[in-house]
Amino acid sequence: MTEEAASDIAREARELVRENTTAALASAAPAEGGAWPYASFVTVACDLDAAPILLLSDLAEHTKNIKAEPKVSLLFTATGGGGDPLARGRVSVLGKAVESDAARHRERFLARHQAARDYASFRDFHFYKVEVARAHLVAGFGRIHWIEADSFLCGGNWAALAEAEAEIVAHMNADHGDAVRLYAERLLGLAPRPEGQEWRMTGIDPEGCDLAAGDHAARLPFGETVPDAEAARAELVRLTKRARATAVASDSE
């Protein structure tokens, strides 16, 4: 496999993970004679490098399991679509769930899951970042790949983008809400939302931006990797022009 092909496979796996807001979590439940696999359902966000972020209650069985054994697996499946569910893409992410007090992890998760703000400050809730060890992508017949952590995670120096993320997102929502709407409706083909549930941007990373409207979430990949605010602005302007051109072409038909 060429280096370019391997890079494309890793990005495909990352995008599938990034587009999801939920996942199946497998942890090890202690038991006499050895641990048992324990499957549960969790909400999830991603750090800028695509490492999963979780918000867990100490009272939950999976959290008790993690405190005893931090090794976990998260299963992400391709969103939408009908037909045979086994024909959809899926990624299993293996790693260690480590408690985090990083402000970025908290804000990225809460931006993705607004309802969690009601309980995120409770004493028994804590944020966790999954330190990825490997990922397993099943993307169709004959397209099954193990991906090591250094390939799966989005590399490069994106610290400048992380620092500017909150400002970029706030600016897009306050001053360019119409562009965000066009991203969803014209570039992603999503249905218009009712008043009060308009599309908004919830996050930006080197490979795309996250959108939300009410309980609906969407992912808009970038054409190029953006390492900082200047590159992000150029890519958002490009996408806005493309969305507006699509809208004009559609309206003239």
Digit-coded pLDDT (tens) for 25-45: 999 999 988 899 999 999 999
Q: Is the pLDDT of residue 200 over 70?
A: yes
Q: Tell me what percent of the residues of the chain surpass a pLDDT of 70.
A: 97
What's the rounded Cα separation, in Å, for the pair 45 and 68? 23
Average pLDDT over residues 149-174: 96
Backbone angles phi, psi at 84, to 5 degrees: -65, 115
Q: Is 64 or 142 the better-scoring residue by pLDDT? A: 64
Q: Is the pLDDT of residue 138 over 60?
A: yes
- For the structural domain made of 159-251, what CATH number should be given? 3.20.180.10
Q: Is the pLDDT of residue 147 over 90?
A: yes
Picking from 3, 23, 77, 11, the residue whose alpha carbon sits closest to that of residue 49 is 11
Q: Where in the chain is the domain with CATH 2.30.110.10?
A: 3-152
Q: Where in the chain is the domain with CATH 3.20.180.10?
A: 159-251
Categorize the per-residue pLDDT at 117 as very low, low, confident or very high, splitting at 50, 70 and 90.
very high
Return the pLDDT at 249: 62
What's the rounded Cα separation, in Å, for the pair 42 and 119? 15
Q: Collapse the DSSP code of 129 into the 3-class scheme (helix H, G, I; strand E, B; otherwise coil) and give the result.
A: strand
Return the pLDDT at 150: 96
Task: State CA 242 to chain mean position distance.
Answer: 24
Categorize the per-residue pLDDT at 81 as very low, low, confident or very high, splitting at 50, 70 and 90.
low
Categorize the per-residue pLDDT at 250 as very low, low, confident or very high, splitting at 50, 70 and 90.
low
Return the pLDDT at 85: 84
Q: Is the pLDDT of residue 253 over 60?
A: no
pTM of the shown model: 0.93
Q: Collapse the DSSP code of 13 into the 3-class scheme (helix H, G, I; strand E, B; otherwise coil) and give the result.
A: helix
Q: Collapse the DSSP code of 5 into the 3-class scheme (helix H, G, I; strand E, B; otherwise coil) and give the result.
A: helix
Backbone angles phi, psi at 226, to 5 degrees: -115, 120
CATH architecture of 3-152: Roll (2.30)
Strand ranges of the sheet holding 208-213, from the earlier edge strand across to the other edge: 200-205, 208-213, 216-221
**pLDDT (tens digit, 9 = 90+) per residue, 1-26?**
788 788 999 999 999 999 999 999 99
Note whether 243 and 182 are within 8 A (CB). Answer: yes
